[in-house]
């Protein structure tokens, strides 16, 4: 059977690699924000929804076609086995069209109700059919995820500059994180990166505590199994910040995620990192550092970046890396990295909604 996952633009290769690691996927192909593949069973799609970390939606692909106008009832053929009492078609559009997503949903839901004598329930349907319109390309199928898999229920105590969980999880792959590595987030804010590292290190499903929200949970006649294979973790993951409120928020979010025992918390200023850890202690620094903007001047941020690389030169192992997520100030951070002989080993642009992020990996 054919399937489709939606991911952030810029993370397609990361999501494709994760799919291959989780299921026996074949014919894996990528497009901007999407990964197409074939799988052996519906259970494999369930496994992707439950254990996947770097993508937002999993679709059982029923048809794909070139758009020539408003999609009509032709795409609704042979859906009986997915339908019982309630269902709904939801549409997502990318590009310019002479109609809205609401127009498409109105037309298709009316036809769906007529053809299959089913009640249209927009809030919590038993089966959600998903239609993606990307300019002239159209993809239709069954939404197995039912929720935005990139969102995390543990993200309760938040502030500004919060990363989505799937992007934070992708950072681990980009930086080459191994569970044997010692990892530090020195600007942990709300703990998103350390939490995703702990979830990965313990093999804990990111949506373990919201199983009932999945779309596959209510699809008629679908038999599935959710398997947890959690591991003991004795490695080092440190959530650090110089702001007590951030450290407190990180701890609370980590408790909600169920991995608080796997993360160490510390309220520490950057300038004390060498004294706290010693020489050649860390394998990885992964973080979203402070960003220049209206509230923080470039010169202030420049001093922070200077201190970060000054300390990193001392506390990182020779094979150590620094992975930074930048919304602004890319040139500033590159300049400070060069001063301490850190060079960029990888750089990519990733879209978090309408916001462009630059992910940089440095090594000496």
Torsion over CA: 325, 327, 328, 331 (sign): positive
What pLDDT is recorded for position 68?
87
Of the candidates 93, 96, 115, the one whose C-alpha atom is nearest the C-alpha of residue 105 is 93
pLDDT(159) > 80: no
CA distance 231 to 75: 44
pLDDT tier at 295, thresholds 50, 70, 90: confident
Query: Is the pTM above the cut of 0.85?
Result: yes
Give exposure, 132-159, as e/b (b: 16+ Cβ within 10 Å): bbbeeebbbbbbbbbbebbebbbbebee
Dist CA 158 CA 318 (whole Å): 34
Give me the residue spans of the domains in the chain.
2-143, 165-363
Instruction: Please give the torsion angle defined by the CA atoms of residues 57, 62, 65 and 68, in that order, rounded to the nearest 10 degrees.
Output: -90
Q: How far is CA 294 from CA 67, 161, 246, 328, 357, in A?
A: 44, 14, 21, 11, 18
| Residue carrying the six token digits 């991911």 | 7
Output phi, psi for 170, to 5 deg: -65, -30
What per-residue confidence (pLDDT) applies to 128? 98
Which CATH fold topology does 2-143 show? VC0802-like (3.30.2130)
The CATH class of the 165-363 domain is alpha beta
Whether residue 158 has pLDDT greater than 90? no
What percent of the chain has a predicted confidence (pLDDT) above 70? 100
Angle, to 10 degrees, between the axis of helix 244-257 and the axis of helix 192-201?
30
Sequence-distant (6+) residues with CB within 8 A of 335 are 302
pLDDT at 114 over 80: yes
List pLDDT tens digits, range 11-68: 999 999 999 999 999 999 999 999 999 999 999 999 999 999 999 999 999 999 999 8
Q: Quick one: pLDDT at residue 271?
A: 95
User: What crossing angle do the helices spanning 42-51 and 12-22 adopt, rounded to 10°?
Assistant: 120
Do the domains 165-363 and 2-143 match in fold? no
Per-residue pLDDT at 160:
76
Parallel, antiparallel or unpaired: strands 264-267 and 236-241:
parallel
What does the pLDDT look like over 185-221, one tens digit per residue? 999 999 999 999 999 999 999 999 999 999 999 999 9
Of residues 150, 261, 148, 147, the one with CA closest to residue 195 = 261
Supply the mean pLDDT for the chain.
Answer: 96
């Amino acid at each position: 059977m054919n399937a489709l996952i939606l991911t952030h633009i810029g993370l397609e290769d990361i999501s494709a690699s994760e799919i291959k690691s989780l299921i026996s996927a074949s014919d894996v192909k990528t497009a901007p924000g999407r990964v197409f593949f074939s799988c052996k069973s519906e259970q494999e799609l369930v496994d992707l929804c439950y254990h996947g970390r770097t993508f937002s939606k999993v679709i059982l692909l029923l048809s794909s076609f070139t758009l020539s106008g408003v999609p009509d009832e032709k795409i609704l053929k042979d859906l009986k086995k997915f339908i019982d009492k309630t269902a709904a078609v939801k549409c997502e559009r990318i590009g310019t069209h002479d109609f809205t997503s609401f127009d498409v949903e109105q037309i298709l839901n009316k036809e769906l109700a007529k053809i299959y004598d089913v009640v249209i329930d927009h809030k919590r349907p038993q089966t959600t059919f998903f239609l993606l319109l990307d300019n002239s390309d159209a993809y239709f199928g069954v939404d197995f995820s039912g929720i935005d898999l990139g969102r995390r229920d543990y993200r309760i105590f938040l502030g500004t500059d919060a990363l989505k969980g799937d992007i934070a999880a992708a950072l681990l792959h980009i930086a080459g994180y191994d569970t044997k590595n010692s990892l530090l987030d020195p600007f942990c804010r709300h703990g998103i990166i350390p939490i995703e590292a702990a979830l990965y290190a313990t093999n804990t499903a990111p949506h373990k505590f919201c199983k009932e929200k999945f779309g596959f949970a209510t699809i008629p006649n679908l038999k599935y199994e959710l398997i947890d294979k959690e591991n003991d973790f004795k490695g080092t993951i440190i959530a650090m910040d110089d702001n007590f409120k951030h450290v407190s928020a990180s701890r609370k979010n980590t408790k909600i995620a169920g991995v608080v025992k796997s993360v160490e918390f510390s309220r520490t200023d950057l300038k004390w990192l060498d004294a706290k850890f010693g020489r050649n202690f860390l394998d990885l620094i992964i973080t979203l550092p402070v960003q220049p903007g209206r509230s923080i001047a470039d010169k202030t941020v420049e001093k922070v970046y200077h201190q970060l690389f000054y300390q990193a030169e001392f506390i990182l192992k020779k094979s150590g890396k620094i992975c930074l997520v930048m919304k602004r100030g890319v040139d500033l951070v590159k300049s400070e990295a060069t001063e301490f002989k850190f060079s960029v080993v990888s750089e990519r642009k990733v879209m978090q909604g309408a916001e462009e992020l630059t992910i940089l990996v440095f090594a000496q």
